[in-house]
Amino acid sequence: MRHRQKLGDTGGSTFHESISDVRGTFPVRRVGRQLTVGASIHIIGRVNSPNDPSALSLYKRLGGYDGIAAIVADLFALLRADVRFVRFGMGRSIDSHQRAQQLIVEQICSLSGGPCYYTGRDMKTSHAGLGITESEWQANLELTKAALKKNDVGDREQAEFLSLFERYKHDIVEASESPAPGSK
């Protein structure tokens, strides 16, 4: 639907025009004899309807901030309960654990298209010296998948969520596996 509205009393030739559809109203400008739609990329580039859940950001599909916070809380509970991760919690205060959990919520929120701003350090700096091994990385992914399933996260969203972690693997995993006892 196209709308024309006369702007002020400028001799009758100046109009403000817009185009409206189910996605909203978009301004139209005249450049010489051509019309330019202000949000033409949005109009032309959008294939999915705005009501299509697959068109939503990962942030929204995970349930927004609260959904991400619930997933991360479950992940941290699983990490604390798993003997493979005991060494990462020793000597840290409750406040330090809560801060680490909050930083992960902020980071996932930001990376998934949410309105959050991650205030933590880069992954290489924050994990330097921890000697995280490939098997610890894989165990963390296993527990992350369990937390996602517990929160009824769909397969597509699980894959996207895990890909947010995978982009930092080279910054986090720094130690080779310890040789098994009795082997060279």
Q: For residue 28, what are the β-bridge partners?
A: 17, 37
Order of strands across the sheet that contains 34-37: 2-6, 15-21, 24-31, 34-37
Q: Which of 6-10, 48-52, 131-135 comes out lowest in average pLDDT?
A: 6-10
| 3-class DSSP assignment, residue 68 | helix
Higher pLDDT, 19 or 183: 19
Mean pLDDT score across all residues of the chain: 79
Give the per-residue pLDDT at 26: 52
Percent of the chain beyond pLDDT 70? Answer: 66
Residue 56 backbone phi and psi in degrees, to 5 = -80, 155
Query: Which pLDDT band holds residue 67 (cuts at 50, 70, 90)?
Result: very high
Give the per-residue pLDDT at 176: 72
Domains of the chain are: 2-45 (no CATH), 56-172 (1.10.490.10)
Give the per-residue pLDDT at 20: 52
Residue type, 103: L
- The rounded Cα 31 to chain-centroid distance in angstroms is 39
Query: Which pLDDT band holds residue 91 (cuts at 50, 70, 90)?
Result: confident
Q: Could you tell me if 146 and 97 are in contact, meaning their C-beta atoms sit under 8 angstroms apart?
A: no
Q: Could you tell me if 71 and 148 are in contact, meaning their C-beta atoms sit under 8 angstroms apart?
A: yes
Tell me the whole-structure pTM to 2 decimals. 0.67
Higher pLDDT, 59 or 46: 59
